[in-house]
Chain A
Amino acid sequence: MKIFFATDIHGSEVCWRKFLNSAAFYKADLVILGGDVTGKIMVPIVNHGTYWQVVLSGETHRLETEAELEKIETQIRNRGYYPTRVSPDELAALNEEDGSIDRRFTVEMISTLDRWLDMADSKLRGGEIPCIVNGGNDDTFDIDAVVEASPCVTFAEGKLVDLEGFSLVSMGYTNPTPWDTFREAPEEDLVKRIDNVVNQIPDMGRAIFNFHAPPFGTGLDDAPALDENLRPMHGGVVMKAVGSTAVRDAILKHQPMLSIHGHIHESRGIKKMGRTLAMNPGSVYGDGVLQGAVIDLNLKKGKVDRYILVNG
């Protein structure tokens, strides 16, 4: 069985489209998206009556036609941002009312995700190509029901999914970050969450851990060390292990065949942990490049036959 794994596309529409095409491109039997599906930034496009105005990368664009508007919205979406059309009054309200930004974000996120899942339906031949998605720490819980409802995508968060003899268990939660994001939990809680799903696995020799957080101290979890003001230290040259000890310990204890991770975009890499092959394909979603891993699994031997990290 050949799988394609990618992660952390953070709202980049071009990466989502590539993800949907990845099965055909890499001749994969199954595609997995490992969390952090949604974007972090919303860009207002302001209606001034006879024209629209948007500021992108510090450059002000005045848009006269619907075609121009759609073109810039595509650019915004491809970067992982959400375009949102607003009137000046709505913009003022977003600026002033407590919670209004989060509410607007949710609306844009959900509508984008709905549209994405519609795309998936046609690209994945109505579910003929299995597609698995789970949450990441940056994904709000609003997305869970939306993905669950999709007929062609399996929402794998906190579940065991049987893949023709392989057992895939998924967890989008991470150890705490300085940003206090949505799916974070202390390491002790992560241990329990991991145990809950891992205990369902019938054969650890054919198990795949799909945990968003990479294992601590493995080189798959090196991020720029930050000072107390969240500023990278020493010009950004100093990296620090920020992965999860619970994930590391679970891998070392259970020794699954494969362990796939994301979360730390800078830490693209591969690490052999005893019998387990652990990997983090990293992410450069902002460039419109879908980093991922193409992995050949051997059901009979219960091992990874081949793998390669790609920049698709």
Chain B
Amino acid sequence: MSTVEEASSSLGGGRVGDEAPTLFLRKATGLVRGWSVRDSIIYACLSTNVVTLGIVEMSYNSFIPRGQLLTSILISGVWVSFLVITYAGLIVTIPRAGGDYVWQSRILAGPLGFVMATTGWWFILWLWAPIYGAVLNEELFQPLLVTLGHPGAASFFGSHNGDFVVCLITIALAGFLVSLGMNGYAKVQKWCFAGGLFGFIVVLALLLFSSHGDFVNAVNTYGKALFHTNHAFAATNAAAKTDGYASPSFSLGPLGPSMLLIPFMMFYLLWPNWGSTLYGEVRGASDFKRVFTGMFTGLWLTVLLSVAFLFLVAKTIGYGFYNNANAVWWTSYYAVPKAATPAMSIWPYPVMLASWLVHNRAFQVILILVMALWFIAWVGTLFLSSTRVIFAAAFDRVLPDAAATVSEKRKVPMASLVLMLLPAVGLSAVYSYSLQFQTYTLDATLVIAVTYLFSAIAALILPWRKPDLWAASPASKMKLLGVPIVPVAAFVTIGLLGFNIYEWLSNSTYGVNNHKSLVFMACLYAAAIILYVVARLVRKRQGIDLGLINREIPVE
């Protein structure tokens, strides 16, 4: 089986073209149909995960007090659409496994591709492990235990030890799902997506068909029952006032502060291309529109779900209460001096709040469990991308051959899993026990954004760096007013990533630009560079020139 080429409906050999044939195929391996666009929409939608990433990040609205989530999300959606065009262009031009690593190595330089792929697709995913753990804690363990009437157990999961335990559970779960193999996990993902989407629609329906009065009553009822707080609704608003926070009303403006929310929104909207290394394994990706449609539709499905969620929050929960509850929680969580005590002792997970609109504990528990499917659907990918990068580096002789070892019996990539799991456990411990380290959460987005930035640069200069490759690419045929859209989109994408990187590094609001955070990220890049240099020296001593890997053989 060689190449997947979306060329013909007659796969065993024949002609292509409605009237006069424009090409002929002969009987040959690999002439297969393109994969289902519906599948790629699901992957793009899951990777821009509105529940596990989106709802969490929306809760940081109070960090930019005048910012409007709605405006920020819509602008982000439009801006990230250019990233989708850029990546679609790269995927159809060099469609293979390896993604950013291959594109940057081929178009820019081999060592740069290695450093960017290692940091963006391997090292920084160690940090994503505790981040995913924190999400699992906030969206499953704590709300579930509180709903089941075990506030003591819930408070354990709110402790440092509890955080660490959930991180370990997350890592074990991700490792287990990878060990299932993609065949098993892909089925799990689809069922989880269907179930999770159903749960989300139920949440939206609850908010749609309930009144604000219903919600106030529910908060007061369950605030008292579960958190022993009288008049929890009013208490939350009062606590926000004590903290000096005043939520804006729900609207589209103002633009400036809403732009400053974009670096938060990138935490979930920057990943519609996450599966691009996976698409790359399919040569059918030579259809630009197909690739673009999958990622674009997945992205905008997430944006639309977010917008619907926000409108219904504003209608039923009340935008003021929503922001106040989040503001009070994070102010208290990050131990801001003189912070008010939250009326609810766990993060005000909107799904839990919505579940209170139905006065039935079983329903509340089921809804929280169903929404956890969003987590299960995506957590396996945490290590999947990393194992691919580790394999690629081992085949390029940068890592020892043993790094690509696969167990004979279960076909599990043991060595690469260990290279992911052990550092992830270490970082999880640091993350769980250091409140300051938790403010580095957006480092995880920043480092990948830097990797994307270099891929966008590669896409921008592709027509000049590799003119033959570009001319042969379907991407070069995609034009608007005679201008190829991919380099233009790459330019806009560089603007998007440049803006975000600048804000993350210059604005202390995002918790990224403090000294230790910068040292942490610098260490990742230094480790990747050292790894490459050491490998190059060691291999040179063995008589192997790693510089040969991407050196092009002359044609003439």
Min distance, Cβ B411 to any Cβ of chain A, angstroms: 8
Among residues 67 to 123 in chain A, which have CB atoms less than 8 Å away from a CB atom of chain B? 75, 78-79, 81, 88, 91, 94-95, 101-102, 104-105
Contacts of A265 in B (CB 8 A): 1-3, 30, 283
Pairwise interchain contact B21-A95, C-beta atoms closer than 8 A: yes
Interface 9-mer from A15-23, A149-157, A201-209: A15-23
Q: Does B471 contact A (CB under 8 A)?
A: yes
Pairwise interchain contact B543-A234, C-beta atoms closer than 8 A: no
Q: Does B365 contact A (CB under 8 A)?
A: no
Bound together, the chains give a CA A217 to CA B409 distance in angstroms of 10
Name the residue on A nearest B187 (C-beta). Answer: A234
Pairwise interchain contact A21-B553, C-beta atoms closer than 8 A: yes
**Given A26-B548, A290-B553, A231:B477 Cβ within 8 A:** no
Contacts of B105 in A (CB 8 A): 311
Q: Which range holds the interface residue count of chain B?
A: 35 or more
Bound together, the chains give a CA A225 to CA B5 distance in angstroms of 15
Min distance, Cβ B538 to any Cβ of chain A, angstroms: 12
Q: Which range holds the interface residue count of chain A?
A: 35 or more
Name the residue on A nearest B555 (C-beta). Answer: A17
Name the residue on A nearest B277 (C-beta). Answer: A237
Bound together, the chains give a CA A230 to CA B545 distance in angstroms of 40
Q: Please, what's the 1-or-0 string for A10-38, where 1 marks a CB less than 8 Å from any CB in chain B? A: 10001001100110011000000000100
Q: Does B94 contact A (CB under 8 A)?
A: yes
Pairwise interchain contact B278-A287, C-beta atoms closer than 8 A: no
Q: Please, what's the 1-or-0 string for A108-147, where 1 marks a CB less than 8 Å from any CB in chain B? A: 0000000000000000000000000000011000000000
Pairwise interchain contact A105-B26, C-beta atoms closer than 8 A: yes
> A138 touches which one: B2, B14, B190 (CB < 8 A)?
B2
Contacts of A270 in B (CB 8 A): 394-395, 401, 404
Q: Does A161 contact B (CB under 8 A)?
A: no
Contacts of A233 in B (CB 8 A): 35, 186
Min distance, Cβ B336 to any Cβ of chain A, angstroms: 43
Pairwise interchain contact B11-A179, C-beta atoms closer than 8 A: yes
**Given A177-B1, A269-B395, A58:B284 Cβ within 8 A:** no
Pairwise interchain contact A10-B282, C-beta atoms closer than 8 A: no
Min distance, Cβ A96 to any Cβ of chain B, angstroms: 10
**Given A238-B183, A288-B472, A219:B406 Cβ within 8 A:** yes
Q: Does A275 contact B (CB under 8 A)?
A: no
Bound together, the chains give a CA A306 to CA B469 distance in angstroms of 31
Contacts of B29 in A (CB 8 A): 36, 137-138, 177, 179, 181, 263
Q: Does B508 contact A (CB under 8 A)?
A: no
Contacts of A299 in B (CB 8 A): none
Q: Does A49 contact B (CB under 8 A)?
A: no
> B401 touches which one: A178, A272, A290, A311 (CB < 8 A)?
A272
Q: Does A294 contact B (CB under 8 A)?
A: yes
Q: Does A42 contact B (CB under 8 A)?
A: yes
Bound together, the chains give a CA A288 to CA B4 distance in angstroms of 16
Contacts of B278 in A (CB 8 A): 235-237
Q: Does A66 contact B (CB under 8 A)?
A: no
Bound together, the chains give a CA A296 to CA B551 distance in angstroms of 18
Name the residue on B nearest A177 (C-beta). Answer: B29
**Given A57-B474, A101-B14, A234:B190 Cβ within 8 A:** yes
Bound together, the chains give a CA A258 to CA B318 distance in angstroms of 69
Bound together, the chains give a CA A59 to CA B477 distance in angstroms of 7
Among residues 1 to 23 in chain B, which have CB atoms less than 8 Å away from a CB atom of chain A? 1-5, 7, 11-15, 17, 20-23
Among residues 92 to 116 in chain B, which have CB atoms less than 8 Å away from a CB atom of chain A? 93-94, 96-97, 105-106
Q: Please, what's the 1-or-0 string for B538-556, where 1 marks a CB less than 8 Å from any CB in chain A? A: 0000111110111111111
Among residues 278 to 307 in chain A, which have CB atoms less than 8 Å away from a CB atom of chain B? 283-284, 286-290, 294, 296, 305-307
Min distance, Cβ B102 to any Cβ of chain A, angstroms: 8
Pairwise interchain contact A180-B186, C-beta atoms closer than 8 A: no
Q: Top 4 nearest A-B pairs by Cβ distance?
A: A235-B39, A236-B282, A234-B186, A312-B553
A: residues with CB less than 8 A from B are 8, 10, 14, 17-18, 21-22, 25-26, 36, 40-44, 46, 54-55, 57-59, 75, 78-79, 81, 88, 91, 94-95, 101-102, 104-105, 137-138, 177-182, 217, 219, 223-226, 229-240, 242, 263-266, 268-270, 272, 283-284, 286-290, 294, 296, 305-312
Given contacts A235-B43, A236-B4, 15 further A-B contacts (CB under 8 A): A40-B5, A43-B22, A94-B15, A95-B15, A102-B13, A138-B28, A179-B12, A233-B35, A234-B182, A235-B36, A236-B282, A264-B2, A283-B2, A309-B397, A309-B549
